Structure 1
Amino acid sequence: MRRYLPVARQHFLAALAGTSVVVKSLSAAVVLLYLLSFGLDTTYGLGVTPGYLLPPNFWVWTLLTHGLVEERAWGLAASLATLGAAGRLLEPLWGALELLVFFAVVNISVGLLGAFAYFLTYVASFHLGSLFAVRIHGGLGFLGGVLVALKQTMGDSTVLKVPQVRMKAVPMLLLLVLALLRLAALVESNVLASYGFGLLSSWVYLRFYQRHSRGRGDMSDHFAFATFFPEILQPVVGLVANVVHSVLVKVRLCRKTVKRYDVGAPSSITISLPGTDPQDAERRRAAGPEGFERAAEASGGPVSLAQHGG
């Protein structure tokens, strides 16, 4: 194992070298807090404890810090790898500031949703451990967010050839693996909660709220909620998702889908959705970051988030 560590460190430093100060700073904070965890209980003061987030304590700063706190070596490696992947694959498309906003949105959402879920568990069981024994921390929530963003930008890319696994299937496959590990009591409940709420919050943000050159969100069909599930389940999931979306539109938590009609040409009518672009399909067929670079060269400029379905 030790002989592979220098190689892994070399690859990580090489990947980090091309990223912005945002990714470098977040990575340094993760490493620093991991080292401090050997002498201090960093999860107590910086992780989200549901009971302390609720009144009268209001430990709201933990919503920003919990995603940087790691206590185990595998968690440290996963967090650094996630930040490195985000820096290499998402930051060139979004920019450093948008990546930082995405990191903050996902982590704050994971902390709030996780605390609310454990509060409901307490209401159902009256077990105080659900409020004060749980520590929500680590980078798995942001890992879920990054995987959702990669599904949006490079979903047709193959990440495993035997058996064939495409990027668009990875988020739910990892969720299934973590659920099985939780059933086998090999991971704690906060691990599954962090990753699951990271998936959900990142999809909501990218689908409805992220700002880009063509407006907000990504209402393209390939990024619908049902596409995260196997094809046999997609009709049922899509029906339920449409009902939930209609309810959220009525309570003004989501925007109604707006279609634009281009009748400039007498022989055709073009219908487009906010957050989509006529060249989306071609770019999604170009697998991986290299495909995006070729698309950027062909269009005469950098590829923005709006240009590839987001």
Structure 2
Amino acid sequence: MKRYLPVARQHFLAALASTSVVVKSICAVVLLLYLLSFAVDTVFALGVTPGFLFPPNFWVWTLATHCVAETHLWDVGLSLATVVAAGRLLEPLWGALELLIFFAVVNISVGLLGALAYLLSYVALFDLSYLFTVRIHGMLGFLGGVLVALKQTMGDRTVLKIPQVRMKVVPMLLLLLLAVLRLTTLIASNVLASYGFGVLSSWIYLRFYQRHSRGRGDMSDHFAFATFFPEILQPVVGLLANLVHSLLVKVKVCRKTVKRYDVGAPSSITISLPGTDPQDAERRRQLALKALNERLKRVEDQSAWPSMEEDEEEDSMKADDPLLPEKSRDTLTAGKAANQESSLITFEDAPSQL
């Protein structure tokens, strides 16, 4: 184990060096606050405490600071790995500013939704521990957001070969694992709440609100909410998700999906959705047609390939008689062909005439 630590450290530093100042700054703040936690209770001062977030206390700054407050070394390592992975995989696609916006949106949403969930738990159970004992902190919410973003950008990539696990199922697999650990009381409830609300808030932001060159949001089918669940549950989840979306559209929280029909397209009618790239779809179609044409051409070439038996026979005859002139070789070849033809013809005695 010790011999792998220098290699891991070297790879981590190399990855960190290739990221922007945004990623470096977040990592530096996480390390600084971890060192400060030995002297001060940083989780109490910077983490989200549901009873202190709402009136009359209004500790609203904790919505922005809870994500960088850690008290354990392994939590610090997970936080740094999450931020660096986002910098390496998402920042080249989005840019440093958009990554910072995504970081802020997900973490603020995790703190706010988590506090509301614990407030509702207190209303239902009248247990003050939900208000003043729970601390929401750490990067687990942002980890869920990064996994959702990777599902959007590289969902078909295989992350494990045995058993085969694709990137698109990783967010829900980890959520299921955390739920099982919570049922066995191995982890606290704030861990599951942070990750779950991170997955939910990041999907909502990427699905409906993220701005990019193609418009706003990503309305493609492979990023629908139902795709987070197994195929057997997707029809039911899709129906419920559509009902919720229709309700949110009516209260003007979400915008209605806009479809643009291009009836002047040369091949067929094309439909453009916000967040989808028609040029990418056309490029994939052209690649598929090219591969199909190459395969058909290969089949035609194989079927039209001339028989090489006669040429091989002539070459062997030339090799056996290298001193014969060309005309003699042609004569021998013609004679041999005549003998083969005559051997195939049989004559029968004609019947006697009456």
- Residue 168 of structure 1 corresponds to which residue in structure 2? 168
Q: In structure 1, what is the Cα distance between the partners aligned to 2:245 and 2:60?
A: 29
> TM-score, with normalisation over the residues of structure 1?
0.89
Structural mapping, 1:96-245, within 5 Å: 96-245=96-245
Identity of aligned residues (%): 82
- Cα displacement string for residues 244-295 of structure 1 (whole angstroms, at most 9, x for unaligned residues): 00000000000100000101136621111110012546999xxxxxxxxxxx
**Post-superposition shift, 1:3?**
4.2
Name the amino acid aligned to 1:132.
F
* Aligned-partner Cα distance in 2 for 1:38–1:183: 31
Distance 1:14 1:92 in 2: 16
Q: Which residue of 2 aligns with 1:46?
A: 46
Q: How many residues align?
A: 284
Look up the SS of the partner of 1:207 in the other structure. helix
Give the 5 Å matches for 1:20-31: 20-31=20-31
2-side partners of 1:2 and 1:30: how far apart?
24
Per the alignment, residue 306 of structure 1 pairs with none
Provide the rounded CA distance (Å) in 2 between the counterparts of 1:172 and 1:280. Answer: 28
Q: Given the superposition, is the C-alpha separation of residues 227 and 32 from structure 1 closer, same or farther in structure 2, using an over 3 Å criterion?
A: same
| 2:87 match | 87
Residue 8 of structure 2 is matched in structure 1 by: 8
Residue aligned with 2:38, SS:
coil
Q: Distance in 2 between matches of 1:17 and 1:200?
A: 31
- CA distance in 2 between counterparts of 1:265 and 1:104 reads 41
Greater relative contact order, per chain length (Cα 8 Å cut-off, separation 6+): 1
Label 1:236 to 1:28 Cα distance change in 2 as closer, same or farther (>3 A).
same
Structure 2 counterpart of 1:287: none
**1:97–1:34 distance in 2 versus 1, CA, 3 Å:** same
TM (norm. structure 2) is 0.78
Q: For residues 103 and 240 of structure 1, what CA distance do their matches in structure 2 show?
A: 28
- The root-mean-square deviation of aligned C-alpha atoms, in Å, is 1.4
Greater C-alpha radius of gyration: 2
Structure 1 moving runs of 4+ over 4 Å: 279-284
Secondary structure at the residue paired with 2:278?
Answer: coil
Equivalent residue, structure 2, for 1:76: 76
For residues 178-216 of structure 1, what are the alpha-carbon distances to aligned partners after superposition, in whole Å with 9 as ceiling and x for unaligned? 001111111100000000000000000000000000110
Aligned match of 1:252: 252
Amino acid at match of 1:47: G
Structure 1, unmatched stretches of 5+, are: 285-310
